[in-house]
Structure 1
Amino acid sequence: MNRFHEFAAGAGLLLTLGGCATLSGDGGFGAAAAISEQRSGARASVAGRLPRNDEDARALAAVIRQKLEQPLSADDAVQVALLNNRSLRATYWSLGVAEADLVQAGRLQNPVLDFKRSRGDGVIGIERTLTFNLLGLITTPMAGRIEGRRYEQVKLLVANAALQTAADTRRAWIDAVAAGQSSDYAQQVEASAQASAELAERMRKAGNWSALDLAREQAYHAQTVADVAHARQAAVAAREKLTRLLGLSGEQAIGYRLPDHLPDLPAAPRALADVEQTAIDERLDIRAARLDTEQTAATLGLTRTTRFINVLDLGAVRNTDGGAATRGYELTLEIPLFDWGAARVARAEATYMQSVNQLAQAVIDARSEARENHAAYRSAYDLARHYRDQVIPLRKQISDQILLRYNGMLMSVFELLADAREQATAVSAYIGALKDYWTAQANLEAALGGRLPPTQGVQP
């Protein structure tokens, strides 16, 4: 075997070794899904893969249909969103892009074959050159490590996007259920106000009430009618927001049901030791930011390695001129005459310092968000408990006493109606406080990077 063939065979071996990296079946989706499932408590896939064909689509539709056959709980809503939200599904496919870049970084550049044939004065000249990028061969391991870090970063970012969608869905579910509960109660209040207005009109005709008393009751009834309209619109808006997150359309968007009321307040709030450290240790966006900084530092190292040698090609040459053949090799090297790579290195250093400061700010933000949401969580729990244990029982006790005295003809109907209004205000405030508590818990979970540890009480 001549030298040219030996060189070509050796280069072919290098090319084969450089092409050993292969694409996985799911693009790394299984690993990202496992992270989000562990932290959100809901599956992010059917059969462990993204829908790719009609069979997968039918399996997904069957799971969603089963979830929608009964009133949708918060956990089921989260799972439907993780499975069916199209924006999130588009984010899942970014893993395939990152994996393709990783595999591509581990492969050598294709060789270049130059062939030239010339003829003159009856003589045929043939030139053949096979060129390989030696710089690519030298830097391939480092480039592979850089893309490997980037791939891991994308997996964390995709899992974090799933957690954000889960948190948004849980908050939207709380808003939708609370809005529906408030709308139902507003209709009850309106019905009671209508009965009061009709009673006032009869009392006025009997001469027992003044025109002012009648106007007051009619004005209150008119206000409750407006409150019902606002409550219904708020319920529609909250439900549609949840529908968008669930990725539902058509009959499914109209037909799914929600519980009639929010879950009861737990017996006690969650006991959390160090929320700041938990946020730093568990939040996926912080982990992704750390990997981004490491990747940037590695890129800086690659830039410094290749600052003087940007093009380095080695080629085997075989020329035929008439009957004589010549062999040899050629080396292509970029001469750093005008560009010594200082600008590339300066850019890489600036990018690295940018990444370092972004990571530091992300940590500061995570600590602050953990403190803020933990304080809001405890405050919301205390307020909801105050309404549950103090305000509502006292309002009921007052109502019972007023009704007792009214039946004994010791109180007028005016006091009875006034108490009904005050009781309605207290119940509406308790619904709002309960909604604020569950929302605060969802916000705290998002700030800490996952579900809170279990405690007594019903979870939404």
Structure 2
Amino acid sequence: MSLPLPWVVAALPARTAPPRLARPWPSAQRLGLALLLGGSLVGCATGPTPATGSVAELVQQHGGPGTAQWPAPAPTPQAQAEAVASLLAQPLDPDTAVRLALLNNPSLQVALAGLDVSAAQRQQMALLPNPGLGLGRVREGGQIEIERLLRIDLWGLLSLPWRLQWQDRQLALARLQTAQEVLRLSAEVRRAWVRAVAAQHQLRYSQQVLDAAEAGAELGRQMVKAGNWSRLQQAREQRALQDSQVQVARARLQAQASREQLIRLLGLDDGRALQLPEQLPEPPAQLLPEADFEAQALRERLDVRLAQDDYQALASQLGYTRVTGYVSAFELGLGYNTITEAGQRDSKRSVEIEVPLPLFDQGQARVARAEAQMRQAQARVREVAVLARSEARSRWQDWQTAWTLSRQLETEVLPLRRQITDETLLRYNGMLSSVWELLAEARQNAHSVSTAIEARRDFWLADTDLRLALSGTANTGPSGLANPLNRAPSPAASAAPNPAH
């Protein structure tokens, strides 16, 4: 809300006044009352809006979790714990894991609280600047003078529409930044879930391979004891057993590390209640048709949109900085003094206008900095566009290759290995091959199964990266792109009037 300048001028009293006033300056009273009332109306009309709703809609538009997947924040810690426990009652699928992270992840709560801070700053910017009231008492002999001075920041009133526009842009940039964090968190949770499930599956299978190796080593000892086998053959079986033990130790460490990463992203105190499925889902049977992924990334990625909006905000600030290079403050003072002496009372009124003289600082440095920041933002737009196109191509190739390898292993290699194992078992039952050939074939089959588990894991990781690269943001944003709310003050911000001036 802004007050038109003609209304303010019309409210000023005449410079001449009668020697006595029954009521001190009613026009000044009306002016102060109107300013206070206008400030209260602006304060009532504006306020921080809930952050979750606007961010959830923006995230849903860019392939993230829908609005229905965002759980309502629990009013008490006990209700929060109950909501978390209800989500952990069943083995987590990736969607439930993302929902739990949206409810319980501390870093996301920090980001949403930061968005509320930006909304509060927008509300503060919408308020009219408070007028200043000065009182003084001067005694000289028998003469007493009471001074009253009302100071009004007219520049704050005149620049209020621009300040609101500037703060609205900052709030929009904060929403984009928070939506980026939500998409990154969702992708990180999905990656951690994929790694944890795959590592758990790998550990169980490695343990089965270890059991088979222990059986082979025990059989080798018995064969050597009976004199039917050489020490060299026994040493080979012992080496296979030790290799299996090393693989189990590594798989156990990997399973623990990936599980802990998922626990951290879900915001859990411990992982005792965390349940995971037995294995990852199968990849889709058909490959998606190739599309113009570069154009989709440029059209839908949030970091591209953030860089463009940041450039537009700086371009609009440049015009304001040029205008305020000479005049950046304008104050009006209304004075009313009463003089009492020897039973007589007299009064006088005064009007003051304070404008800084641009003798030394004419805004050259602020304009130069604003122009440099605008060129910097323009370069960021191109940097982010190049990154988006490159990531879209790379992620599409990774996704396509991972799908091809996973399907080849599961539809061709593993069936072939099972056929070879079955044939070897038939030959063993027909006494055409030894038990050692059967054990060797089992080890080869175990290696193929382990490779297939890793290939399925790599596919779902590539699938998550592709979705994020096309409609979300970069995995690690470009080095030059930072949160606009955390960078150094812009020229327009430094030129904006201080309400407490």
- Of 300, 303, 308 in structure 2, the residue corresponding to residue 282 of structure 1 is 300
Q: Which residue of 2 aligns with 1:320?
A: 338
Q: Which residue of 1 aligns with 2:281?
A: 263
| Aligned residues of 1:115 and 1:127 also touching (Cα < 8 A) | yes
Letter in 2 for 1:283: R
- Of 19, 32, 47 in structure 1, the residue corresponding to residue 55 of structure 2 is 32
Separation (CA, whole Å) in 1 of partners of 2:38 and 2:399:
56
Paired residues for 1:41-440 under 5 Å: 41=65, 45-47=70-72, 50-51=73-74, 53-54=75-76, 57-250=77-270, 253-322=271-340, 323-440=345-462
Report the 3-state secondary structure (helix = DSSP H, G, I; strand = E; otherwise coil) of the residue aligned with 2:159. helix
Separation (CA, whole Å) in 1 of partners of 2:106 and 2:360:
50
Query: Displacement, 1:28?
Result: 3.0
Query: Displacement, 1:128?
Result: 1.3
Query: Displacement, 1:90?
Result: 0.6
**Given the superposition, is the C-alpha separation of residues 2 and 24 from structure 1 closer, same or farther in structure 2, using an over 3 Å criterion?**
closer
Q: Is 33-42 or 374-383 further displaced after alignment?
A: 33-42
Query: Displacement, 1:340?
Result: 0.9
Separation (CA, whole Å) in 2 of partners of 1:298 and 1:109:
23
Query: Displacement, 1:255?
Result: 2.2
| Aligned residues of 1:23 and 1:100 also touching (Cα < 8 A) | no
Report the 3-state secondary structure (helix = DSSP H, G, I; strand = E; otherwise coil) of the residue aligned with 2:297. helix
Separation (CA, whole Å) in 2 of partners of 1:305 and 1:117:
40
Separation (CA, whole Å) in 2 of partners of 1:450 and 1:334:
48
- Of 462, 465, 470 in structure 2, the residue corresponding to residue 448 of structure 1 is 470
Query: What does the per-residue CA deviation read over 1:202-252, in whole Å, with 9 as the maximum and x for residues that have no partner?
Result: 2222222111111111110111011111110110000000000000014xx
Report the 3-state secondary structure (helix = DSSP H, G, I; strand = E; otherwise coil) of the residue aligned with 1:310. coil
Query: Displacement, 1:342?
Result: 0.8
Letter in 1 for 2:391: E
Separation (CA, whole Å) in 2 of partners of 1:292 and 1:16:
35
| Aligned residues of 1:286 and 1:359 also touching (Cα < 8 A) | yes
| Aligned residues of 1:129 and 1:316 also touching (Cα < 8 A) | yes
Separation (CA, whole Å) in 2 of partners of 1:391 and 1:110:
77
**Given the superposition, is the C-alpha separation of residues 8 and 306 from structure 1 closer, same or farther in structure 2, using an over 3 Å criterion?**
farther
Separation (CA, whole Å) in 2 of partners of 1:2 and 1:372:
68
| Aligned residues of 2:138 and 2:146 also touching (Cα < 8 A) | yes
Separation (CA, whole Å) in 1 of partners of 2:12 and 2:311:
49
Letter in 1 for 2:64: S
Query: Displacement, 1:103?
Result: 1.3
| Aligned residues of 1:174 and 1:262 also touching (Cα < 8 A) | yes
| Aligned residues of 1:316 and 1:328 also touching (Cα < 8 A) | yes
Separation (CA, whole Å) in 2 of partners of 1:341 and 1:241:
51
Report the 3-state secondary structure (helix = DSSP H, G, I; strand = E; otherwise coil) of the residue aligned with 1:30. helix
Letter in 1 for 2:220: A
Separation (CA, whole Å) in 1 of partners of 2:177 and 2:37:
33
| Aligned residues of 1:373 and 1:447 also touching (Cα < 8 A) | yes
Letter in 1 for 2:466: L
Separation (CA, whole Å) in 1 of partners of 2:163 and 2:449:
63
Separation (CA, whole Å) in 2 of partners of 1:406 and 1:104:
83
Separation (CA, whole Å) in 2 of partners of 1:439 and 1:104:
44
Query: Displacement, 1:14?
Result: 4.1
Normalized against structure 2, the TM-score is what? 0.85
Report the 3-state secondary structure (helix = DSSP H, G, I; strand = E; otherwise coil) of the residue aligned with 2:138. strand
Separation (CA, whole Å) in 2 of partners of 1:324 and 1:262:
91
**Given the superposition, is the C-alpha separation of residues 336 and 15 from structure 1 closer, same or farther in structure 2, using an over 3 Å criterion?**
farther
**Given the superposition, is the C-alpha separation of residues 11 and 29 from structure 1 closer, same or farther in structure 2, using an over 3 Å criterion?**
farther
Letter in 1 for 2:71: V
| Aligned residues of 2:180 and 2:472 also touching (Cα < 8 A) | no
Query: What does the per-residue CA deviation read over 1:5-37, in whole Å, with 9 as the maximum and x for residues that have no partner?
Result: 324423542453355145546543321123235
Query: Displacement, 1:41?
Result: 2.6
**CA RMSD, 1 decimal:** 1.9
Query: Displacement, 1:271?
Result: 3.0
Query: Displacement, 1:45?
Result: 4.0
Query: What does the per-residue CA deviation read over 1:86-105, in whole Å, with 9 as the maximum and x for residues that have no partner?
Result: 01101100111111111122
Separation (CA, whole Å) in 2 of partners of 1:358 and 1:445:
23
Separation (CA, whole Å) in 2 of partners of 1:106 and 1:239:
47
**Given the superposition, is the C-alpha separation of residues 175 and 2 from structure 1 closer, same or farther in structure 2, using an over 3 Å criterion?**
closer
Report the 3-state secondary structure (helix = DSSP H, G, I; strand = E; otherwise coil) of the residue aligned with 1:254. coil
**Alignment: residue pair count:** 444
Could you list the runs of 5+ residues in structure 2 that have no partner in the other structure? Answer: 1-10, 14-24, 474-501
Query: What does the per-residue CA deviation read over 1:140-177, in whole Å, with 9 as the maximum and x for residues that have no partner?
Result: 10110011011011111111111110000000000000
| Aligned residues of 1:276 and 1:366 also touching (Cα < 8 A) | yes
**Given the superposition, is the C-alpha separation of residues 8 and 302 from structure 1 closer, same or farther in structure 2, using an over 3 Å criterion?**
farther
Report the 3-state secondary structure (helix = DSSP H, G, I; strand = E; otherwise coil) of the residue aligned with 2:272. helix
Could you list the runs of 5+ residues in structure 1 that have no partner in the other structure? Answer: 452-460
Separation (CA, whole Å) in 2 of partners of 1:447 and 1:18:
46
Percent of aligned pairs sharing the same letter:
40
Normalized against structure 1, the TM-score is what? 0.92
Letter in 2 for 1:370: A
